[in-house]
Structure 1
C-alpha cells in the first residue's frame, strides 16, 4: 500500500501557497545560544549586540527565524535557565534597549525572532523564592512553589523518591527563620531552580503577563522549556522504581506529561492568537510515545513541539523510515505539522553523535577526554547525510548554531573548564553538556576565531574549530556551509516543507528512499546507509548531494534529484 503524508491545516486542506498559509508550517528556525554566538564587548561571554552583528550570516544561510536561549537576569548557575527576573536582560548580555535593537534589526532583515520561556522553575534568587524562604510554612509566599514536610519521624527524609535530572535528589531541605531544619522544596533540576506550583492561580497570571511583556516588544513566539513538566501528579506520589528521567519521560512518571499542562497551553494559545503576525508556541516536551507528543500540537495548543524521538533515532535505514513514518502519522492525526531536529544545546552534536556505535546513539550526556573518541570523518559524513535527509522532510526544521559548519562536539574539555551543573551534581560521572556549547568560530585567523577581539572565551575552543570557521567555508564548493545554503535554498524553492512524502520501494533495506511532491514539482531523496555505493543513471539531474560525486552515491551519503526516480533506474548492489 502506498502511503502519502501531507501537512494538514487545522480543519481544512492546506493551501500550497506560502502567501496564504502561516509561515511556521514549513519554517527553518535557527537556535542561537547567546553565550556562544558572538561577543561584542570582549568579556568572553556572548551578548545581544554580538547576536545583532552576526544576523547577516543567518540571512545568507537562508533560515526563516532565530530562537534565542535565555538572556534574562540570572545568577547563571545553569546558563540562564535559572531566571531571576523574566522581564529584564541580564547585564552580561546587554540591556532591554539592546534587545529592542536586535529585534528591530532581525525584522528589518526578514527574520522572525523567538525567545525562550522557562516556566517550570525560577532561580532561587527570584524575589518570590526569597520571600518564600523568609515566610513560614503554609504561607501564601510558599504556596507559589512546592514546599512539603519531609518523611520520617523528624522529617529528615525527602517527601518522595523523585530525582533531579541533574543528579541526586529532587528535594532540598531548608533552614527556617529560627535556624531549625524545615521543609523541603522540589527542584527537578539544580537545587538553585525551585519548581513553581502551577496549581496556584498567581503563577498562571504571572506568566500570562510575562508573555504579553515580550509579545508587546514584538517577539514572534516562545520556545517553552520543560513544557511537559509544569504540572505534577496531585499528592506527589513516589515514582516507579528504576525510571530514567532523561530517556523515558512518560506519563507513568508523576512529574512528566500530566493532563493539566494542556490547559496551560490552551490559555497561552488564546493569548498569542490575540496578537497579529502568526506568533507561535514551541513545546520542549521530552515525552513518549509519538501520540503523547502530538497532543501538545492539537489545534488549540502549541504550533510546534520538538521531535526528540527523531533526534535520537539511530543512523540505520530501517530505524529512520520507522521514525519518520511514526512522526508524520502522529501529527497528521491532530492536523499539525511535524518538526525535525538533529542537535541543540542539550545533546551531543550530531557531527559527533552519529559516529558513536549504533547501540549507544541515544547518548545525550556528553563525551569527555577519558571516553572513546568518535571518528570525526565518519561523524561529519553521516551528519551531512542526515541533515540532507532531514531538510527534505515535510514540516518545520530546527538548526543549532554551528551545525552548518559541521562543528563536532568539544570532547576534550578539562574538568576545571566545565560549567554545566550536571557535571558537578553527578560527582563528575556525567561530563555534561558543555561540549556542544563552545563558542562559534567565525574567522580562523582572529582571536577566539572571531568570537570577539580579545580572545577570551567562557569555554575553550578546540583547535579543530579554526579550519571550520565561517570564513574558511564561505564560497568553497563542497563545504558544509555551502551544502546547508544549497539545501535551504532548494527546500524553499521546491516547497519541500509543504510537500507530500511518498516512500519508494525496491532500493533495499539500507537505503531511505522517498519522493516529495509540492506545487507540481517532484524531488527524489535517496539516503544510502549501506556499505556499498549506489550508481545513479546518467540522465539523473542531481540537485544537491552531501557527498563528493554526482553519479555515485557512496555509504552515508544523501542526494536530492529532480523528478521521480525508480529503483529500476539505479544500480543497487545486492538487490
Structure 2
C-alpha cells in the first residue's frame, strides 16, 4: 500500500462543499469549480448540425445541451469556431473575435453561452496562441511588408542557410510531417525569407518575443471573458517560445513510419517546446483571469495542452500564479496495464502537490485514436474502455471526456478519398495505416437507423462532412437511452455516483497491493479495483459495498477487463 498524496500538506486545499449546480458536482467554497469537474469535449464539426449542411455548428450544440446536462457533466469544452479557412478545421484562425459563418454567428455564440448557463454548465472555449492562419490579416501584412518590417516581426521569419539562403534555417520537423519551414516569394518575385510553421504550412508560428503578440492575446482573452465564457483550453501551450538562436534539434528515427507525433517530439530535448519564457505568458494570463473573479459568472480558468517530458514539467504550468490546469497525457498514453496505470498516478499526484493543483485525466480527444480501439477494439476494447473510465473517474481532480465515448464509439476507418486531416495529406505517401485524425472525428449518432443518424436535419441516407459507418444505429443516443447495460447508461450512472464523493473523498490516493494484474486504490471511503489480467481476481479485504461495476457485478471475484467501485458506509 503506497500513499501518493497527502491532503494534510499546507499547500493542498482541503476539499469542501457548498451548493451544487443543476448539471454537475458541488462547487468548492473557494469557487474553483474546475478542481473536480467533469468536462465534455465538443468537436464542433461533429457534435450536432443545426442547419442541415452536414457540418456541426453552434446552434446544433445549443440544441443538444440537455444531453450533456442529463449525462451529468459540469462543463463543455468547444473546439475552435472562429473565422478560419478551415485548413486545420479551425485551428488555423483568421479572426479570433468572430465566429466562422460555417458554424454560425456571434449571436449564436451568445445564445449557446446563455443556454449552457441556464442548464448549470460551464463553457470552455479553445484558444490557439502558437500560430495563426496564413489568411490572418497580420500574416498577409507581413508578406506584403517584406523583410525587416514590424509586420514580419510578429512571426518567425528568418533568412535561410546556404550561399543563396535556399536551405531551411534549421532541421526542425513539422508535427504534421515534412519540414517546419516554408520559403516565401518576395514582392519583386525573388526567393525570400523562410517562416516557421510547427504544424501545417498554412499555420505560421507567432513570435512571442514581440510584445504586440502578448498584447493582442490579452485583448482576445478579455473579448471572450466579457461575453461570459468560463475558461479556455490553450492549444499547444508549451510551444509559444522557441529557443534563442533556433538551433538544430535531435531528429526522430528516420526509419520510423510517418511523421513524429507530438508524443514522440515531447520526449526529446526540443528547442521548440517547453521553453522557460512561456511561463511569463501564463502569469500574465493568470492576472487577466483574476480580474473576473468577482463577476456574476464566478471564477474563470484555463487548462493547458502541454505535451511535456515529465509529470514535473507539466506541473509547472499550474503553479499558483499560472494556469489552473494542465492536461495529463501520460494517462492517455498508458497501455492497458495495471502497472502503467499505477505508475501514472504515483508520478502525477506528487508532482502537483507543491502547487496545490488537482490533476486532470483523459483517455481520448480529437487528436488521438479512440481508446476503445487502442485497447483492442470490439467487445474487448469496449470492456477495457469502460473499466479504464471508471478507474479514471474515481481519482481526485478533473476528468475530460471526448464526445462519443459515452456511446462506446470506436475509431472509424476513413477512406482515402474522404480524408480531410492536413497531417494525413502531408504524410500520406509514407504514413502508417492509422495516421491522421479523421477516424476519431466522425460525427456522432443521435438516432434513426441510417446516416446521418439524426446528426442534423439532412435527409435520411445523406452523409455528413465525414461519412458515418453503417451499423451505428444501436450506438446512437436514442438507442442507448434507458437500455440496460448500455455504455451511455453506464456513463450516466458513473457520473451520478461520482458526484456523491468527488469533493468529500479527499485528495489522498493509496495504491493497494492486489496482484500484478490489478490496479487498485483507496481514496477516502472509495476503493476502486481494475482487473487488467486474463483471469478473475479476488477482491482486496475491506472494500465496502459495491457501488458500480463496468461489467458483471463482482461476487467475491472481479472478472478480467472490469473495474468496480466500492464505498465504505
TM > 0.5:
yes
2:55–2:465 contact (8 Å) kept in structure 1 = yes
Q: 2: distance between equivalents of 1:57 and 1:99? A: 18
Q: Helix, strand or coil for the counterpart of 1:271?
A: helix
Alignment match, 1:479: 486
Q: 1: distance between equivalents of 2:511 and 2:187? A: 69
Q: 2: distance between equivalents of 1:9 and 1:47? A: 45
1:147–1:186 contact (8 Å) kept in structure 2 = yes
Quote the offset at 1:327 in angstroms: 0.7
2:543–2:566 contact (8 Å) kept in structure 1 = no
Is the counterpart of residue 98 in structure 1 residue 108 in structure 2? yes
Q: 1: distance between equivalents of 2:543 and 2:333? A: 36
Is the counterpart of residue 254 in structure 1 residue 271 in structure 2? yes
Q: 2: distance between equivalents of 1:107 and 1:6? A: 34
1:42–1:456 contact (8 Å) kept in structure 2 = no
1:8–1:337 contact (8 Å) kept in structure 2 = no
Higher mean alpha-carbon deviation, 223-232 vs 469-478, is at: 469-478
Is the counterpart of residue 282 in structure 1 residue 284 in structure 2? no
Alignment match, 2:408: 406
Is the counterpart of residue 533 in structure 1 residue 543 in structure 2? no
List alignment gaps of at least 5 residues for structure 1: 356-374, 565-575
Is the counterpart of residue 544 in structure 1 residue 524 in structure 2? no
Q: 2: distance between equivalents of 1:215 and 1:8? A: 35
1:296-327 CA distance string (max 9 Å, x none): 01101111100001110111111111111101
1:391–1:397 contact (8 Å) kept in structure 2 = yes
1:34–1:71 contact (8 Å) kept in structure 2 = yes
Quote the offset at 1:441 in angstroms: 0.3
Quote the offset at 1:245 in angstroms: 5.2
Q: 2: distance between equivalents of 1:137 and 1:538? A: 71
Alignment match, 1:439: 443
Quote the offset at 1:8 in angstroms: 7.9
2:465 to 458, 481, 499: 458
Alignment match, 2:21: none
2:12–2:357 contact (8 Å) kept in structure 1 = no
2:510 to 479, 503, 506: 503
Q: 2: distance between equivalents of 1:549 and 1:563? A: 17
TM norm structure 1: 0.91
1:513 to 514, 520, 529: 520
2:204 to 194, 202, 215: 194
Quote the offset at 1:15 in angstroms: 3.6
Alignment match, 1:365: none
Q: 2: distance between equivalents of 1:12 and 1:512? A: 25
Quote the offset at 1:2 in angstroms: 4.2
Alignment match, 2:98: 88
Quote the offset at 1:150 in angstroms: 0.6
Change (3 A) 1:153 1:514: same
1:122-179 CA distance string (max 9 Å, x none): 0000001001111120001100001011100111100000010000000000100011
Quote the offset at 1:446 in angstroms: 5.9
Alignment match, 1:316: 337
2:15–2:506 contact (8 Å) kept in structure 1 = no
Change (3 A) 1:136 1:505: closer
Alignment match, 1:20: 29
Is the counterpart of residue 226 in structure 1 residue 236 in structure 2? yes
Q: Helix, strand or coil for the counterpart of 2:111?
A: helix
Q: Helix, strand or coil for the counterpart of 1:172?
A: strand
Q: 2: distance between equivalents of 1:210 and 1:140? A: 21
Q: 2: distance between equivalents of 1:309 and 1:154? A: 44
Change (3 A) 1:298 1:10: farther
Q: 2: distance between equivalents of 1:288 and 1:504? A: 24
1:538-562 CA distance string (max 9 Å, x none): 9962211000234242111000112
TM norm structure 2: 0.92
Is the counterpart of residue 553 in structure 1 residue 553 in structure 2? no
Q: 1: distance between equivalents of 2:320 and 2:261? A: 28
1:282–1:304 contact (8 Å) kept in structure 2 = yes
1:180 to 187, 190, 207: 190
Q: Helix, strand or coil for the counterpart of 2:161?
A: coil
Quote the offset at 1:233 in angstroms: 0.3
Q: What are the equivalent positions in structure 2 for 1:368-447 lying under 5 Å apart?
A: 375-411=377-413, 413-428=414-429, 429-430=431-432, 431-445=435-449, 447=451
Quote the offset at 1:283 in angstroms: 0.3
Is the counterpart of residue 335 in structure 1 residue 356 in structure 2? yes
Change (3 A) 1:280 1:504: closer
2:223 to 213, 216, 220: 213
Higher mean alpha-carbon deviation, 9-18 vs 44-53, is at: 9-18
2:11–2:353 contact (8 Å) kept in structure 1 = no
Is the counterpart of residue 3 in structure 1 residue 7 in structure 2? no
Higher mean alpha-carbon deviation, 428-437 vs 190-199, is at: 428-437
How many pairs were matched up? Answer: 540
Alignment match, 1:368: none
List alignment gaps of at least 5 residues for structure 2: 18-26, 254-259
Higher mean alpha-carbon deviation, 276-285 vs 422-431, is at: 422-431
Alignment match, 1:358: none
Change (3 A) 1:419 1:10: farther
Q: 1: distance between equivalents of 2:183 and 2:160? A: 8
Is the counterpart of residue 302 in structure 1 residue 302 in structure 2? no
1:122 to 125, 132, 138: 132
2:250 to 229, 235, 240: 240
